[in-house]
A and B are shown apart, each in its own frame.
Chain A
Amino acid sequence: MALDVAQIRDDFPILKRTVNGKPLVYLDNAATSQKPQQVIDCIVDYYSRYNANIHRGVHTLSQEATEAYESARKKVQAHFNIGHSHEVILTSGTTHGINLVASGFTSIMKQGDEILVSAMEHHSNIVPWQMLCERTGAQMKVIPMLEDGTLDMEAYQALLSQSTKLVFVNHISNALGTINPIAQMIDRAHEYGAAVLVDGAQACSHIKPDLRELDVDFYVTSAHKLCGPTGIGMLYGKEEWLKRLPPYQGGGEMIAEVTFEKTTYADLPHKFEAGTPNIAGGIAFGAALDYLNGIGFEAIAEYEAGLLEYATEELLKIPGLRIYGSSSERTSVISFNLEDIHPYDVGTILDKLGIAVRTGHHCAQPVMDFYRIPGTVRASFAFYNTREEVDKLVEGVKKAQMMLS
């Protein structure tokens, strides 16, 4: 099933705009994806037709809104093959989900416990755990990475012990595009009774993870990376874990009964959903999943693999260009530098040509330190990008090289 890119591009109004007088070439999809008209319409429709607060009204609008929001939760559940819909916590995004879990483990972790974090994590999957360690006296150990941008699995095995309580790893690295062997990592962690949280922020726009089969304990992601709006995301937690963790924030929606003496908490998932949520965002998250499933993840993966291969080949023809991360298991992310040229300069020239890439450390400073570089230029492709856009990138990089050296 080949994918009809021309038709798909028609769904994305932003792809028609120009930047600095040039047609936009959007290659910063790992930072956030663009939104199809279907998702935009869904948000407009909610605010135009049935905006109301959810879970509390007896009136029709409130019931319609509640149904739409809860049906989005069911779509998330089905998409990720999650056992129960109450194991789906709708959060404001990946960062929120990680902080919720890290905060919850404060009462579980003890002095001497260990947590393992991979060397290629996003800052949002490092800092909350450091804070947890400060609160509890637990110790954080780092699973090292190898030159090719993969995790050192032998070192991982050696780090696991009876003291290991938690393992955190991203499904796909945002800086390098490496797909980590999470199934294997989860199995090994479970042999030691350690729980695993997988940061799926980068993964879910490229692959459709089967969480039941993975047997992962926690999985987090952000809708904005997969054609949905910002400010909404998912935390999946196994029921037994979500029951054990204390609530994260107090407020409305998350209670069963409140007196000044004592509050009893609502059942899952509401226990973790204090306050009025991002209702439009939640509903549109569901619409985004419908949209992507309409195209099909197999078609997306196949198409993006073609783009990655073509872009890698073409970029490597440029003398002095180095790509970081060469794992055979990768998604369509290319992190590169030109010899003796700062990534910021390259990004500036590309922007002048209407090409949007990310430059810098990509919130993964430890990865940059590993390669001893200040940052990289990162081009990340989505299923709506084309080979012609790859050609424009390559031409742009050549032009930047000519101007900057």
Chain B
Amino acid sequence: MSIAELQEELIDEFALFDDWMEKYEHLIELGKSLPLIDPAFKTEEHIIKGCQSRVWLHATLDKEKVIFTADSDAIITKGIIAVLIRVFSGHSPEEIAEADTDFIDTIGLKEHLSPTRANGLVSMIKQMKLYALAFQAQQKN
């Protein structure tokens, strides 16, 4: 599936829940199933500086596709990361670099996208895109 299709899938999935509690419960479940980052990468170097919860992100290039793994010490943050990984991981650097993230708003988690929220999500998306750009540059060389 393309990034856009995966986003549609998530939008449909979250549309099943009509109140915020169910949405959050689903998000928390997704967080629990997050493909965990190799502990070896849970280092300062892989931390995304957010104000409150800590987020670790690691990326590798496997057969021209970017594979992301991540973790966080806050479970809601982990849920959001799981959503992002499901959408971005396994795609080419070009696709990731160009993808938009409006679907977060559509599925009703807009508050987490606010740059004032200091939870590192915005920096997390930025970091994922930076990885993609770096891999793109590598491929060109």
A residues touching B (Cβ–Cβ < 8 Å)?
20, 341-345, 348-349, 351-352, 359-360, 374-375, 403-404
Contacts and interface: CB of A to CB of B under 8 A. Distances in A.
Contacts, number: 42
B74 A344 contact: yes
A352 B54 contact: no
B20 A404 contact: no
28 contacts: A20-B20, A341-B75, A342-B73, A342-B74, A342-B75, A342-B77, A343-B52, A344-B52, A344-B53, A344-B74, A344-B77, A345-B53, A345-B75, A345-B76, A345-B77, A349-B24, A349-B76, A352-B21, A359-B52, A360-B51, A360-B52, A374-B53, A374-B54, A375-B52, A403-B21, A403-B24, A403-B28, A404-B28
Interface string B32-65: 0000000000000000000111100000000000
B9 interface: no
Closest 10 CB pairs of A and B: A342-B74, A344-B74, A344-B52, A344-B53, A360-B52, A345-B76, A345-B74, A348-B76, A345-B75, A352-B20
A342 B53 contact: yes
Contacts of A20: 20
Contacts of B54: 374
A345 B112 CA distance: 12
Interface in B107-125: 111, 118-119
Contacts of A342: 53, 73-75, 77
Nearest to B24: A403
A377 B135 CA distance: 40
A337 B10 CA distance: 32
B25 A403 contact: yes
B60 to A, nearest CB: 27
A404 to B, nearest CB: 6
Contacts of A404: 28, 75-76
Q: Choose among A342, A345, A352, A360 the residue with the greatest number of B CB atoms under 10 Å from its CB.
A: A345
Nearest to A405: B75
Q: Choose among A348, A349, A351, A375 the residue with the greatest number of B CB atoms under 10 Å from its CB.
A: A348
Q: Choose among B20, B28, B51, B74 the residue with the greatest number of A CB atoms under 10 Å from its CB.
A: B74
Contacts of B20: 20, 352
Q: Choose among A342, A349, A360 the residue with the greatest number of B CB atoms under 10 Å from its CB.
A: A342
A352 B51 contact: no
Q: Choose among B73, B76, B111 the residue with the greatest number of A CB atoms under 10 Å from its CB.
A: B76
Interface in B15-34: 20-21, 24-25, 28
Nearest to B72: A342
Q: Choose among B25, B53, B119 the residue with the greatest number of A CB atoms under 10 Å from its CB.
A: B53
A372 to B, nearest CB: 13
B51 A374 contact: no
A374 B118 CA distance: 15
B2 to A, nearest CB: 31
B19 to A, nearest CB: 10
A212 B73 CA distance: 48
A404 B27 CA distance: 11
Contacts of A359: 52
Given A344-B74, A403-B24, A403-B28, 19 more contacts: A20-B20, A341-B75, A342-B75, A342-B77, A344-B52, A344-B53, A344-B77, A345-B53, A345-B75, A351-B111, A352-B20, A352-B21, A352-B24, A359-B52, A360-B118, A374-B52, A374-B53, A375-B52, A403-B21
A310 B83 CA distance: 40
Contacts of A352: 20-21, 24
Contacts of B118: 360
